Amino acid sequence: MLKLENISKKYHNKSVLENIDLEIQAGEIVSLLGQSGSGKTTLLNIILGLTKMDSGKIYYENEDLTNVKMKDRGFNIVFQDYALFPHLNAYENIVYGLKNKKSTDSKKELKEYIDFLELGPHLDKKISQLSGGQKQRVALARTLVMKPRILLLDEPLSALDGVIKESIKERIKSIAKQYQLTTIIVTHDPEEALTLSDKILIINQGHVSQFGTPHEIIHEPNNEFVKEFILKQLHIKRQNIFHLFGEQYA
């Protein structure tokens, strides 16, 4: 279980996050949803340990991580456009971290990850030869082999188009399920957040606007912001889809 208590952060005297409380259960997928500048990425970086918070506490399994350094927290992240090393090929990227981690049964596990993410045919390719979806899967593999206690994903779908987007969504869900991996996702897209996660934290101007399941957010919106900026978008999309297929598919 990951627990955030009263987290606040200021940049140049401007408050970015104020008194954020949050509890995430093991194996849950949670999305941090907000517009650009809402503070969602800052919160992700604070959990990761990259950004220092001004006040507040972080606990993982009742262990106080507040002053634990990034690399000792055991969390890991996949960045928005993957940050794969361009001078190494796909395979070298995947095993990059293994060279720092001596463990005995890692060979077999490595193969498991590669098979699970269907990366076998692409291992010898240069990063520039991979498609967006393949890059995403290589980045996931590189991160998963490190066996993170929590997986953080920064806008994992924004660089992907159409069909690939849906398949990566399924992939993320199955990873969380297969490995019982707590996953935290940053996104600005309500549809993505609501269809991908168990729970959603909606952030508006550094404050928690609502925290709940997709069902709760759709049916019991907490306030005007959630209605105006989150639900309205989904309603318009629904309208458009209905128009295309006809009302009988509602």
Partner 1 sequence: MPNIKLEMKVIYLAIILLFSVFLVLPMLALFYRSFQTTKGLELSNYINVLANGELLTAFMNSIKVSGLTAVISTVLAFMIAYALHCTNIQHQYKSIIKVGILIPMLLPTITYGFAIMYSFGNQGLITQLLGQPLFNIYGFNGLLLGYTIYTLPAAFLIINNSFMYIDKRFMVVSKLMLDGTWRSFFHTILRPLTGAIGGAFVLSFILSFTDYGIPASIGGTYSVVSTQLYQVMLGSIPNFSHGAVIAILMLIPALFGVFLLQYLERFNFHYDKITEIEMVEHKGRDISFALFASIVLIGMLSVFLVMFIAPFLTSFPYNLTFTWNHLINVFQSNDLIGVYKNSLIVALFTTIFGILIAYSSAIINARTKIKGKGAFDIVSMITNTLPGMVLGLSYLLLFNNSSLKGTFIIIIVCNIVHYYTTPYLMAKNSLSKMNPSWETTGGLLGDSWFKTIYRVILPNSWGTVIEMFSYYFINAMVTISGIIFLVSAQTSLVSSKIKELQHFAKFNDIFVLSLLIFFTNLLIKLFCDYLQKRRSLKNI
Torsion angle of C-alpha atoms 102, 104, 106, 109, degrees rounded to 10: -160
**Residue at 75: amino acid letter:** F
Contacting partner 1 (CB under 8 A), which of 16, 24, 65, 76?
Answer: 76
What strand order describes the sheet that includes 63-64? 14-24, 2-11, 55-60, 63-64
Contacting partner 1 (CB under 8 A), which of 19, 57, 59, 79?
Answer: 79
Collapsed DSSP state (helix, strand, coil) of residue 72: helix
Interface of this chain with partner 1, residues 134 to 153, rule: CB under 8 A: 142-143, 146
Does 126 engage in binding with partner 1 (CB under 8 A)?
Answer: no
> Closest separation between CB of residue 218 and partner 1, Å?
34
Q: How far apart are CA 63 and CA 170, in angstroms?
A: 31
DSSP state letter for 230: I
State the DSSP H helix or E strand holding residue 151, giving kind and residue range, or none if neither.
strand 150-154
Q: How far apart are CA 231 and CA 222, in angstroms?
A: 11
Contacting partner 1 (CB under 8 A), which of 77, 130, 181, 208?
Answer: 77
β-sheet bridge partners, residue 20: 7
CA atoms within 13 A on the CB side of 147: 10
Does 71 engage in binding with partner 1 (CB under 8 A)?
Answer: yes
Does 183 engage in binding with partner 1 (CB under 8 A)?
Answer: no
Does 92 engage in binding with partner 1 (CB under 8 A)?
Answer: no
Q: Per this entry, what is the length of the chain?
A: 250
Whichever of 114 and 217 has its CB closer to partner 1, that residue is: 114
Does 164 engage in binding with partner 1 (CB under 8 A)?
Answer: no
Contacting partner 1 (CB under 8 A), which of 37, 86, 124, 219?
Answer: 86
> Closest separation between CB of residue 143 and partner 1, Å?
8
Number of residues forming the site for partner 1 (CB under 8 A): 25
Q: Interface residues with partner 1 (CB under 8 A)?
A: 48, 50-52, 70-71, 75-77, 79-81, 83, 85-87, 96-97, 99-101, 128, 142-143, 146
